[in-house]
Structure 1
Amino acid sequence: MKSTIDLSAAAWVKSSYCSGNGGECVEFAPGVAAASGVVPVRDSKELRGPVLAFAAGGWAGFVSALAAGELAAR
């Protein structure tokens, strides 16, 4: 079953690590998560490009793991 989330009024937020890294940024729309249980994520350079949707719990776990240094860059 495929569902569609309306992102036309989404308030996108850039990662706090965005500045100073040459524009390699992601954005997410936290308000959409509150309404739908899904966190949309996109490339900040491709505002009309594809959006990845993550379950809110999975996204929260990912962000927590990043903050705790549990994920190493490769």
Structure 2
Amino acid sequence: MTNDDALQAPEWFTSSYSNDQGGQCVEAAHVRTGKTSEMWVRDSKNPNGGMFEFKSGPWMDFISSVASGGITDRLG
């Protein structure tokens, strides 16, 4: 494994929709995995509780669908 192939430590950032009143607490990290990249998403209130890992293509499809209104809040 070369340095280019090494997994880089994630730098987590908080969603712009998160707040200190408990609303929509989501963190994400762009992670380079070898020659590709992924988006990792986790619950900021439970950072050790697991995460979702998305390849860049499916992540961009998800973001496009949300932005176009294709995914809405089904819980409310």
Length-normalised TM-score, structure 2: 0.68
1:58 aligned residue: 58
- Could you tell me the percent identity over the aligned residues? 39
Q: Which has the higher strand share?
A: 2
Q: Which has the higher helix share?
A: 1
Question: Measured at CA, do residues 21 and 61 of structure 1 come closer, stay the same or move farther in structure 2, by a change above 3 Å?
Answer: farther
1:26 aligned residue: 26
Unaligned segments of structure 2, at least 5 residues = 1-5
Query: CA-to-partner distance for each residue in 1:25-51, whole Å, 9 max, x for gaps?
Result: 211102x0xx22221111010122212
If you compute each CA radius of gyration, which structure gives the higher value, 1 or 2?
Answer: 2
Q: How many residues in Structure 1 have an aligned counterpart in Structure 2?
A: 66
Length-normalised TM-score, structure 1: 0.69
RMSD of aligned residue pairs (Cα, Å): 2.3
Read off the aligned partner of 1:67 and give its amino acid letter. Answer: A
Read off the aligned partner of 2:65 and give its amino acid letter. Answer: A
Give the Cα separation in 2 of the matches to 1:20 and 1:61. Answer: 29
Query: Structure 1 residue runs of 4+, over 3 Å off?
Result: none
Question: Measured at CA, do residues 45 and 69 of structure 1 come closer, stay the same or move farther in structure 2, by a change above 3 Å?
Answer: same
